[in-house]
A and B are shown apart, each in its own frame.
Chain A
Amino acid sequence: MRIKQLLIGMTASVIAVSSYVEMAIADLKFPMLVYRTGAYAPNGIPNADGFVDYYKMINARDGGIGGEKIFHPECETGYKTQVGVECYEKNKKDAMVFQPMSTGITYQLIPKATADGVTIYSTGYGRTSAANGKVFKWVFNAPVTYWDGASIAVRHILKQNLGNIKSKKIALVYHNSAYGKEPIRTLETLAKKHGYKLMLLPVDHPGQEQKATWLKIRKARPDYVLMWGWGVMNQVAIKSAASIKFPMENFIGIWWSGSENDVLPAGQGAHGYKSLTFNAPGTDYQVHKDIKKYVHDKGEASGDGSHFGTVLYNRGLFQAMVQVEAATVAQKIHGTSKITPAMYRDGFENVNLTAKRLEELGFKDFAPPFQISCENHGGSGLAAVQQWDAKAKKWNMITEYMYGDSDVVQKLIAEDSSKYAAEQKIAERCN
């Protein structure tokens, strides 16, 4: 009797699986690697919600991209590389693009996706030298890279000191991983150029243990602290900085260390904390109105809907928008709505988000315009500085979008990517 039931159950499940696979083939597939659990969940959740809400809005408002619905299966990685690989292998068939949301998983997937012909879009994270499209055919990291970010932060400091930071000391508090180590070389090169002293302070995964780090900062008294943090690490660092009374306006985080989740736990102590950003916060944009109308008001918001308009949610919107735009461009180039992963990559390489196009998409003044080309997969390289107002609980943009030190950054990109090309025996394209 039992065996019979088991057999029936198994047959039913096989049927269920085969129908599931069929459903997936019809639409444009945008698989999502998310982490709504683990040490990085506070940042992973709002970002994933932004993605899902945007896809849902496009499906509801426009009936998909060029009439093709977006199919966006979620795969939970918990920020773990091995699980990321499993998720990738599971979803790679007919997938348009992967957004790993983790520098570690991005490094892992770059060679695999290149071999399989799947696009990787690491928005402002991942391998910086992937900005060189001549070597990294399938990888995009527009609109700005970590090396741009590091030099923009230094530029901001330079501006505050009227161009002279010879006697200054800058500390870098970083996640002790590929992600956190990315800016070190740029900061070292810039230290030679501008004459500041650089202090490196690694923080180990997951980042709760920072007593020693901030004790060192208290002792050495650096003039500025830069931070490459993610997840719990951000909250702990900002709290620790507040508790040693480090002047918050001299504490600048990368764009992944500047969301509401990071500063709120420190309360008033976080007032004045700065971070870089490549998109605006808030809900005053057309895209938010559309999402409210087509998704939230129907009760279909992803998650609990509480992250609407936060920094990372908005970044999710931006990332999803670029991915969808690439599909639109691909459909235009190839004259078909049913695009293949290879066509999708062509589309990505021809994305041109002008101010006008951004306005059409509902992103007016949301982010600076940028263009991707065969050589340049890194976009504009523009980022601005935002500052936290703890009383109003709000991020304010305090600078214009600015460029990094492109002399330094471009040279480093060329160096690193040619090293990779030699290692992997890749011939340069676009010539």
Chain B
Amino acid sequence: MIYKETGQYKSSYKSDHAIFPLLQDKIAFSTLMFVAFLIIPLIINSYWEKAILVPFLIFSLAAIGLNILTGYCGQVSLGTGGFMAVGAFSTYKIMTYFPDMNIMIIILISGLITAAVGIIFGLPSLRIKGFYLAVATLASQFFLVWLFNKVPWFYNYSDTGQITVSERTMFGVPVTGAEAPSYATYLFCLVLVVVLSFAAKNLIRSKMGRSWMAIRDMDIAAEIIGVPPLKTKLSAFAISSFYIGVAGALYFAVFLGAIEVTESFDIMTISFPVLFMIIIGGLGSMLGSFLGAAFVVTLPIGLKFLMVDMVGLSAVTAKHFEITIWGLLMIVFLIVEPHGLARLWSIAKEKLRRWPFPY
């Protein structure tokens, strides 16, 4: 009875097509936005910012990007780390060439550059599918990381290959660099994530999104009914890479501030975790991208908090447990709920509708 939809009539197409057609969803979403925009900035401290919220927002964006490609268009990609590196290094190069440019514009341009790179690496997807495509995208991961480490122009010939962000402001408040206050970096990421998520949600409901799903479900059938595979697949690669590129730019400029490409964009630190996010969260679900990112970002921290600070285990024992639990959870998830956390949420909604009457 909590989640009751009786009596909610839709009298226009517009209200029928709303992203949140139900009143309860609208209330929940507005509350969430209210808390995210007005409450959290007041109470945020640097631990919550640097360890939990900012990484969560950035990885949500990356997960949305990968979900567009893998979840909606069915093209498996292991190149996330490489594409994020493109975003990061574009940001760095643009920052150093145009010191006066606004950081928001720099980040969006970096996204566009990543989209272009994504199109190039998406070309093989026209000929190969499934596992073979995964291997091809894996090549992009290794190639891009190698490129940014090998060619000194990308890191402005610094001795160590590290790239470091300099301070940039929005409305007079620094959002990058060490002096940036926690609320500023958080709000900066939040605005980008909210705007881009709405854009993604609407893209998915548009003609383009529907053609992605048609390709995903059966590409030959899609082609026969008039969905052009070239345009569709490449648009998925471009838009997915745009999101991942923006995530990479934020990861470098706002979150870490100094980056070494081999370490920060390693396949084990980015590509696989982001893939896990969308698998755990739910393939082909916007909500799943966020849930997956939240799960992957907070699980290690939560487990560490529980085991080290509460129970008092030593840091290393806790780490061993964490690795084991992580592996177990992956297996359990794939067996018990292969559709991810998003599916769990929709089951919960069903239950809430009938509550307190079980069936």
- Chain A residues in the interface with B (C-beta under 8 A): 13, 16-17, 20, 34, 36-37, 74-76, 78, 80-83, 85-86, 89-90, 92, 103-104, 107-108, 110-112, 114-115, 127, 176-178, 181-182, 184-185, 204-205, 416, 423-424
Q: Which of B46, B159, B262, B319 has the most CB of A within 10 A?
A: B159
What count of chain B residues pass the 8 Å CB interface test? 37
Known: A37-B320, A185-B159, A424-B166. 13 other contacts (CB 8 A): A76-B318, A80-B269, A81-B256, A81-B260, A85-B50, A89-B49, A107-B162, A107-B164, A108-B258, A114-B178, A127-B160, A177-B161, A204-B262
Query: Majority SS of interface residues in chain B?
Result: helix
Q: Are B310 and A17 in contact (CB under 8 A)?
A: yes
What residues of chain A lie closer than 8 Å to B51, measured between beta carbons? Answer: 85-86, 89-90
Q: Are B159 and A81 in contact (CB under 8 A)?
A: no
Q: Are A107 and B260 in contact (CB under 8 A)?
A: yes
- Complex partner residue of A76 from B149, B179, B316, CB under 8 angstroms: B316
Q: Are B50 and A86 in contact (CB under 8 A)?
A: yes
CB of B266 within 8 A of chain A?
yes
Interchain Cβ contacts under 8 Å between A and B, 19 examples? A16-B309, A76-B315, A76-B316, A76-B318, A80-B269, A81-B260, A89-B46, A90-B47, A92-B46, A104-B260, A110-B258, A111-B178, A176-B149, A177-B262, A178-B161, A178-B162, A182-B159, A204-B262, A423-B164
Minimal Cβ-Cβ distance residue in A for B179: A115
Q: Min CB distance, B105 to chain A, in Å?
A: 21
| Distance in angstroms between the alpha carbons of A127 and B266 in the assembled complex | 22
- Complex partner residue of A178 from B47, B256, B260, B304, CB under 8 angstroms: B260
What residues of chain B lie closer than 8 Å to A36, measured between beta carbons? Answer: 315-316, 319
Q: Are A82 and B269 in contact (CB under 8 A)?
A: yes
| Distance in angstroms between the alpha carbons of A89 and B162 in the assembled complex | 21
| Distance in angstroms between the alpha carbons of A107 and B269 in the assembled complex | 18
CB of B323 within 8 A of chain A?
yes
| Distance in angstroms between the alpha carbons of A168 and B310 in the assembled complex | 59
| Distance in angstroms between the alpha carbons of A76 and B323 in the assembled complex | 12
Minimal Cβ-Cβ distance residue in B for A176: B262
Q: Min CB distance, B353 to chain A, in Å?
A: 21
User: Which residues of chain B in 308-352 are interfacial with respect to chain A, using CB atoms and an 8 Å cutoff?
Assistant: 309-310, 314-316, 318-320, 323
CB of B71 within 8 A of chain A?
no
Complex interface bits, B247-274 against A, C-beta within 8 A gives 1, otherwise 0 = 0000000001110101110100100000
| Distance in angstroms between the alpha carbons of A131 and B292 in the assembled complex | 43
| Distance in angstroms between the alpha carbons of A129 and B159 in the assembled complex | 11
Complex interface bits, B287-302 against A, C-beta within 8 A gives 1, otherwise 0 = 0000000000000110
Q: Min CB distance, A35 to chain B, in Å?
A: 9
Q: Min CB distance, A178 to chain B, in Å?
A: 4
Q: Are A16 and B310 in contact (CB under 8 A)?
A: yes
| Distance in angstroms between the alpha carbons of A57 and B320 in the assembled complex | 27
Q: Are A181 and B315 in contact (CB under 8 A)?
A: no
| Distance in angstroms between the alpha carbons of A117 and B315 in the assembled complex | 26
Q: Are B47 and A89 in contact (CB under 8 A)?
A: yes
Q: Are A37 and B319 in contact (CB under 8 A)?
A: yes
Q: Min CB distance, B248 to chain A, in Å?
A: 14
CB of B177 within 8 A of chain A?
yes
List 8 tightest A-B contacts by C-beta distance, closest first: A111-B178, A36-B316, A178-B160, A115-B178, A74-B315, A76-B315, A86-B51, A76-B319
Q: Are A82 and B177 in contact (CB under 8 A)?
A: no
| Distance in angstroms between the alpha carbons of A130 and B162 in the assembled complex | 15
User: Which residues of chain B in 32-66 are interfacial with respect to chain A, using CB atoms and an 8 Å cutoff?
Assistant: 46-47, 49-51, 55
What residues of chain A lie closer than 8 Å to B300, measured between beta carbons? Answer: 83
Q: Min CB distance, B324 to chain A, in Å?
A: 12
What residues of chain B lie closer than 8 Å to A114, measured between beta carbons? Answer: 178
| Distance in angstroms between the alpha carbons of A60 and B159 in the assembled complex | 44
| Distance in angstroms between the alpha carbons of A83 and B268 in the assembled complex | 13
Complex interface bits, B5-20 against A, C-beta within 8 A gives 1, otherwise 0 = 0000000000000000
What residues of chain B lie closer than 8 Å to A82, measured between beta carbons? Answer: 55, 256, 264, 269
- Complex partner residue of A184 from B159, B177, B256, B269, CB under 8 angstroms: B159
Minimal Cβ-Cβ distance residue in B for A128: B159
Q: Which of B178, B263, B310 has the most CB of A within 10 A?
A: B263
What residues of chain B lie closer than 8 Å to A74, measured between beta carbons? Answer: 314-316
| Distance in angstroms between the alpha carbons of A94 and B84 in the assembled complex | 35
| Distance in angstroms between the alpha carbons of A176 and B257 in the assembled complex | 20
